[in-house]
Structure 1
């Protein structure tokens, strides 16, 4: 190997600073950008990378890992025994029952007639409404999912006509989509992947454009959130789904149009993760134009796509591009818009907080996370970005900020009272 080649951080126990530099350069990130994300100076970053100072404390290591999109602390520290998934929240008490329902084969003859697809669709509508309205939305849908999963599987297996079978497959795909929202950021990535793939298979079997679009949207998210090595797969999925839906759009109903818009934004989200500024904003603009074709009061129950969500999406693009000042500007523009879903509103507040954090406004970031907690505690509790900002503030030298962050951390269950 050439002496100028980038060393592999996994090949030998390289010092922390060297690993940090290797991972930073692989992301194409300058010292100035990393320093800005960490609230440090470029000289501080250079000193750590050169080994002129000791590796920072755990909370700063956490922040470095987040900034570099390192999913395991071991990738950065070199200590395998300290492997910690940075983006996984705690396991929900209902996770075991949901897992059991997903893994159950549901073989044999049912003791009573399986519910019809129409009946299951009505139950799903109740479940989505509960998710949007409840602050403890994971608990609500976690209670409903086991029965929905089992009944949807039975409906597919015992459908008596081809049309009933396709309708049951569409309901099963949407049930798995609901399960994906429950499983997100929980410590069972393999289960989430299984659900995402099953949803896509069921959607294709159904032939229903809406089901196919939703399943593709969620499968692309699963790839995007896995990291840079999956960005190409995420782009391929969104591109194929958009190409499939495009001929249908002139005569499409609001649901299909909304899913197509959500896919356009999803492509922009992945572009922002890549740092492709022009593509990210272009996709956002296309999605905005599609949102304007929907009624002003319309809100898609699964993707949240609507006119109301576009301001929140603009904040996300700016944050993912590490544009702190632009994130704050977009947050101010989006402030007047009310997002009807509590968990989606909380997610937007978290994205705003990330923007304020990037813009070196830690107290505003904390205040914004308090609003997220008020909207939906279970959203912020499972969000790695929110936890990182709060735990960093818990180490602040500013007494009032440290106290405020510690109180929020205790409420979220991150710290003992």
Structure 2
């Protein structure tokens, strides 16, 4: 029987082990690879998939869900009576308005704002994203008009140079849109935004715009699962090759996007479990960061000298190295990260490290701090949701209580 004839785990009432096997195969993962990422043996996984071992307890189910990046926990368990979204967060109330602006095909008959005016609004929007705890709400309110105005500016550009400048601005607007759309229940919209951002960046011929669009496209590929890791690498490699001739005389903005792409290559290697390659690319990115002004902070990627400690935590966590994750977390200077959502993301990565290291109490403390920094970041983060749900089943009553409180704040449990 061909794989295409295999029952669909999203629609058919089939056994847990069969669901694991189908989802694993669809992600392009071999049994030894998945077992290794779970810290178990291939024979154990085979017994799970063939039903020789009973369904594991919730902590292991959540680890399998995280590794396979299922859309909803019920996709793995088959229990549709209690869905729990993990790597796809809840749809934001402003998502429909942003989608309508992206999908707008007919331009209004009115003068477009100047590129300078749009750039000023973009600067304010990026600032709001980094400083507002409810950054999705704020950015979601600004995006519809920004998208429509940037599209209009490209259409009405009166010269080739003006059109290229307008395309660079439109590409950056799509970049901001991708931050908003990410981890929401509309993957088709995410890819539409990413592709339009890349098209606009290429039309602009601007190295920075092309680098940013490539950085976001690579992330979209990587977050789609192991079958897309090669595509992510292809994007980053091509972008770095394109940027290389510009680097000797590059300003901090272009240097920073090159460094961000270097780290993305290491991040994907860490997802693969390739330790030497992951740390080699981290080293390259760190050398690039040292070329930046000490206080420089890239407004889109957050790349800077300050972020490299947080990036080291991420590499160690993705490599499942609990002790190294904690060592890097202790070394990292989180207070130097000025962006609230980026700080919250770093706290979540720290929490993953502490849990890997067998320190669940510290992991919960760290997730509390992530929630304080940016509630909307942790609400949409699958790793945080997985840790919290797992701890609601902890043996310790105190941990169960604290996890339940966080789960309620995130909307994972009814208040």
Shift of the 10–267 alpha-carbon distance from structure 1 to 2, 3 Å rule, reads farther
Does residue 1:220 correspond to 2:215, yes or no?
Answer: no
Compare 10-19 and 172-181 and name the one that shifted more.
Answer: 10-19
What are the within-5 Å matches in structure 2 for residues 10-409 of structure 1?
11=6, 15-17=15-17, 20=20, 23=24, 26=30, 28-29=32-33, 31=35, 34-35=38-39, 48=48, 51-56=51-56, 60-71=60-71, 76-77=76-77, 86-110=86-110, 113-335=111-333, 337-409=335-407
Match of 1:4 in 2: none
Residues 20 and 76, structure 1, Cα contact 8 Å, conserved in 2: yes
1:215 Cα shift? 0.4
Shift of the 82–233 alpha-carbon distance from structure 1 to 2, 3 Å rule, reads farther
Shift of the 32–237 alpha-carbon distance from structure 1 to 2, 3 Å rule, reads closer
Shift of the 19–146 alpha-carbon distance from structure 1 to 2, 3 Å rule, reads closer
Shift of the 72–261 alpha-carbon distance from structure 1 to 2, 3 Å rule, reads same
Shift of the 74–378 alpha-carbon distance from structure 1 to 2, 3 Å rule, reads closer
Compare 357-366 and 119-128 and name the one that shifted more.
Answer: 357-366
Q: In 1, Cα distance between the equivalents of 2:101 and 2:238?
A: 31
1:174 Cα shift? 0.1
Shift of the 108–30 alpha-carbon distance from structure 1 to 2, 3 Å rule, reads closer
Q: In 1, Cα distance between the equivalents of 2:389 and 2:90?
A: 16
Deviation track 1:316-363 (CA, whole Å, cap 9, x = no partner) reads: 111111111111111111146521100000000001111111112111
Alignment RMSD: 2.7
> Helix, strand or coil: the match of 1:366?
helix
Residues 353 and 366, structure 1, Cα contact 8 Å, conserved in 2: yes
TM-score normalised according to structure 1 size: 0.90
1:386 Cα shift? 0.4
Q: In 1, Cα distance between the equivalents of 2:85 and 2:367?
A: 22
Q: In 1, Cα distance between the equivalents of 2:223 and 2:190?
A: 12
> Helix, strand or coil: the match of 2:413?
coil
Residues 115 and 151, structure 1, Cα contact 8 Å, conserved in 2: yes
> Helix, strand or coil: the match of 1:241?
helix
Deviation track 1:193-222 (CA, whole Å, cap 9, x = no partner) reads: 000000000000011111010001001111
Residues 262 and 303, structure 1, Cα contact 8 Å, conserved in 2: yes
Shift of the 49–100 alpha-carbon distance from structure 1 to 2, 3 Å rule, reads closer
1:226 Cα shift? 0.6
Deviation track 1:250-278 (CA, whole Å, cap 9, x = no partner) reads: 10010000000000001111111111111
Shift of the 313–10 alpha-carbon distance from structure 1 to 2, 3 Å rule, reads farther
Q: In 2, Cα distance between the equivalents of 1:215 and 1:139?
A: 23
1:72 Cα shift? 5.8
Shift of the 58–33 alpha-carbon distance from structure 1 to 2, 3 Å rule, reads closer
Shift of the 199–360 alpha-carbon distance from structure 1 to 2, 3 Å rule, reads same
1:14 Cα shift? 7.0
Q: In 2, Cα distance between the equivalents of 1:9 and 1:64?
A: 23
Deviation track 1:281-317 (CA, whole Å, cap 9, x = no partner) reads: 1000000000000011000000000000000101111
